[in-house]
Amino acid sequence: MMNPTATDIILATLNARYAHCAFGLRCLFANLGDLRPRARILEFDIHQRPLDIAESILSHQPKIIGLGVHIWNATQSTELVAILKQLRADIPIVLGGPEVSHETDQQDICRRADHIITGEGDVAFAGCCRHLLEGASRPPHVIAAPQPDLADIALPYEHYTDDDIAHRVLYVEASRGCPFRCDFCLSALDTSVRQVPLKRLLAAMQRLLDRGALAFKFVDRTFNLDPDTSVAILEFFLARHRPGLFLHFEMIPDRFPEQIRNILQRFPPGSIQIEIGIQTFNEGVAARIGRRQDNALAAANLRWLREHTGIHLHSDLIVGLPGESLESFADGFDRLVALRPHEIQVGILKRLRGAPIARHDDAFGMVYSPQPPYEILQNNQIDFPTMQRLRRFARYWDIVVNSGRFVEAAPLLWRDGAPFQRFLAFSDWLFARTRQTHAIAAPRLAKLLGEHLGATEEVRAALERDAHRSASSRRQDRHAHTAP
């Protein structure tokens, strides 16, 4: 039986998977001040049963439960809160996170919880806990958190554990906010960008490096917005580069001045991944959703990064934007494939709570799933059956192309041109054969790909080389994980 030491404040969330760290919880924990010794972070994942999570949380005999709610864990979090309230209605539950920062009056989880902190809760959560523990006055049900000054708040990085550093990706932020107003993104509601003081940030990064940290994922929406700051951070890591160092950044596609290009060229291959959100190449659609982007310059930058650096390029397109037809999306997809990013993430449009994308619902017949993650089901350009085909297209592209298992064989699908149409035909065929989008074993997938391509010597040789490459990669991964 679990019998941990009683803890007054439990900070908990359900991550998408174990490898993810809950950055937001660590920000809250770091800013609890004198309450920090009375608090503890508990991280779970969405594959665990809410009943078991409730047992773990309550075993600590908390006086306050703080729960981080996101689009990926909203369903499980709602069930968890319902269970906790059935068992211990006397324990205040405080919610925070983007999923509960908007439309709070429409959500069952918000009705069940005692308090909801909307916005950035670094400071507001500590204040709420003090009120609850002191019992002097009850905070309101909805607490609108004021935007904190990033120069004043405590940084969270010392609260990554040794286990986090050894086995998980560490999330880092150099800035908050975004200057752009893309309707599909919650950052459209906050058009200012605030910087974490660079000296403090780099000192914290040095301490993580000294502890052996190797994998850093910057969560900034626009890492390359301020080139001087970007270069300073990149120079810092380049000067301390060692084998295994991995950095992830999300960058604006049409903003790669010479000073950023010069430093990126100096990093060893494989040590940086850049996520570049194209989202759409249709300029009319981009203007409609408030996305400012120079497509020609974005394409030139992608081409330059692919040809002149060893950076792993991850790029995004969104299916279902208002006014984008199937033909328009196909044209954009083919254009992106020609630029040869290592991964193309085909995302299905989501109606994030509070995002301005809702203003297009009537004009474009936007119909979304009522359940998280609120993906679009159809609009007046793409009907439901076609949207389902595109959903499968996205999944199959991920496991066939983005997985890196079929580096040589997959491009044979579109060797005669028209990548979108050729892969859509393969996607339709694959679903007709398997009726599955998940749990397709790699050997079976290879066999099916070969069957669709045809039993030629070229196809057989490509699949054999891919199999050999994948086996070698798995052996290297096992060695890396077992090496001292």
CB-based contact 379:328 (threshold 8 Å) = no
Mean pLDDT in order along the chain per 10 residues (484 residues): 76 94 97 97 97 98 98 97 98 97 96 97 97 90 95 97 95 94 89 93 98 97 96 98 97 96 97 97 97 96 97 98 98 98 98 96 98 97 98 98 97 95 98 96 96 95 94 56 33
Whole-angstrom distance, CA of residue 155 vs CA of residue 146: 18
**What DSSP element (H or E) covers 424?**
helix 419-434
* Residue 126 is assigned to a structural domain of this protein: yes
* Residue 423 is assigned to a structural domain of this protein: no
Residue 61 three-state SS: coil
Would you state the pLDDT for residue 132?
A: 96
Q: Please indicate, yes or no, whether residues 227 and 347 belong to a single structural domain of this protein.
A: yes
Whole-angstrom distance, CA of residue 278 vs CA of residue 285: 12
Q: Please indicate, yes or no, whether residues 202 and 330 belong to a single structural domain of this protein.
A: yes
Whole-angstrom distance, CA of residue 285 vs CA of residue 277: 15
Domain that holds residue 371: 160-382
Q: Please indicate, yes or no, whether residues 16 and 131 belong to a single structural domain of this protein.
A: yes
Residue 246 three-state SS: strand
Give the domain-ending residue among 382, 414, 434. Answer: 382
Q: Please indicate, yes or no, whether residues 139 and 166 belong to a single structural domain of this protein.
A: no
Within 13 A of 174's CA, how many CA atoms are on the CB side? 27
Would you state the pLDDT for residue 135?
A: 84
Would you state the pLDDT for residue 250?
A: 97
Q: Please indicate, yes or no, whether residues 335 and 283 belong to a single structural domain of this protein.
A: yes
* Residue 456 is assigned to a structural domain of this protein: no
CB-based contact 306:256 (threshold 8 Å) = no
Residue-wise burial string across 179-214, b where 16 or more C-beta atoms lie within 10 A, e elsewhere: ebbbbbbbbbebeebebbeeeebbebbeebbeeebb
Give the domain-ending residue among 350, 382, 414. Answer: 382
Q: The pTM is what?
A: 0.93
Q: Please indicate, yes or no, whether residues 220 and 270 belong to a single structural domain of this protein.
A: yes
DSSP string covering 278-315: EE---HHHHHHTT----HHHHHHHHHHHHHH--PEEEE
Q: Please indicate, yes or no, whether residues 174 and 314 belong to a single structural domain of this protein.
A: yes
Residue 352 burial (10 A CB sphere; 0-12, 13-18, 19+): buried
State both tokens at 415. Answer: 């060797």
Would you state the pLDDT for residue 4?
A: 64
DSSP 350: B
Say how many domains are in the chain: 2
Would you state the pLDDT for residue 483?
A: 34
175-182 LR contacts (CB < 8 Å, sep 24+):
175/220, 175/222, 175/223, 175/225, 175/226, 175/229, 176/120, 176/150, 176/220, 177/221, 178/221, 178/222, 179/222, 179/225, 180/222, 180/290, 180/291, 180/292, 181/290, 181/356, 182/279, 182/289, 182/290, 182/291
Q: In angstroms, how far is CA 180 from the centroid of its own chain? A: 19
* Residue 445 is assigned to a structural domain of this protein: no
* Residue 459 is assigned to a structural domain of this protein: no
Q: Please indicate, yes or no, whether residues 312 and 167 belong to a single structural domain of this protein.
A: yes
Domain of 138, CATH number, reads 3.40.50.280
Q: Please indicate, yes or no, whether residues 285 and 316 belong to a single structural domain of this protein.
A: yes
Q: Please indicate, yes or no, whether residues 130 and 206 belong to a single structural domain of this protein.
A: no
Domain of 365, CATH number, reads 3.80.30.20
- Decide the pairing of beta strands 376-378 and 367-368: antiparallel
What does the CA dihedral 420, 422, 425, 427 come to, rounded to 10 degrees? Answer: -70
Q: Which amino acid is at 251?
A: M
Would you state the pLDDT for residue 137?
A: 81
DSSP string covering 207-243: HHHHTT--EEEE--TTTTSSHHHHHHHHHHHHHT--T
* Residue 362 is assigned to a structural domain of this protein: yes
Bridge partners (DSSP) listed for residue 343: 314
Question: Which among 21, 395, 360 is positioned nearest to 171, based on CA atoms?
Answer: 21
* Residue 315 is assigned to a structural domain of this protein: yes
Would you state the pLDDT for residue 6?
A: 85
Q: Please indicate, yes or no, whether residues 315 and 171 belong to a single structural domain of this protein.
A: yes
Using CA of residue 389, residue 390, residue 392, residue 396, what is the dihedral sign?
Answer: positive
- Decide the pairing of beta strands 142-144 and 170-172: unpaired
Distances (CA, A) of 475 to 98, 436, 480: 40, 28, 9
* Residue 152 is assigned to a structural domain of this protein: no
Q: Please indicate, yes or no, whether residues 140 and 165 belong to a single structural domain of this protein.
A: no
